[in-house]
Amino acid sequence: MKNISAHPVRILGLDPGLRRLGWGLVDAEGARLSWVAHGVITPDEKQDLAVRLLDLFEGLSQVIAQYRPDEAAIEETFVNMNPASTLKLGHARAAAMLAPARAGLSVAEYAALDIKKSVVGAGRADKDQILFMVKRLLPLAGKAEGGLTADAADALACAVTHAHKRKTAALKRTLGAA
């Protein structure tokens, strides 16, 4: 983990999905967060699963090469009623985790409940509430060309959560050393 006070830390947030992988980048400097970029990687749904996973990995690798984040954060997979869907989401999540790991980045994992609490203040927030709050926290994200989709907003929310959590962890380390 990069030193919190030295320079801005660029955080890549990821919202994994097999149809749409949302990504978002923020720079964290102390308590200040700045939007850098966001987007969605959408592999061709007609392709075989392996090809779609490769598209996710390669697309995310390009994002990492272009924006050079320092750390990454990803939403944990939730288990739903359909085991096949959960397994496919797990595959997409693995492809999304491999790209930053291959680039030498640490990858933090956060439960959806934690992300919602961190950004909205309520663990049962819906996608519209997350989108609204991300636009409030990162106003330039909402003004970006192409707008801000729910998938990209979820990824930015994950990056914001990581920024908050890493700051808290650093404070605890500082207080523990005193």
Q: Which residues carry out catalysis?
A: 15, 75, 151
Query: What is the secondary structure of 103-116 as a DSSP string?
Result: TT-EEEEE-HHHHH
Provide the 3-class DSSP secondary structure of residue 39.
strand
Provide the 3-class DSSP secondary structure of residue 32.
strand
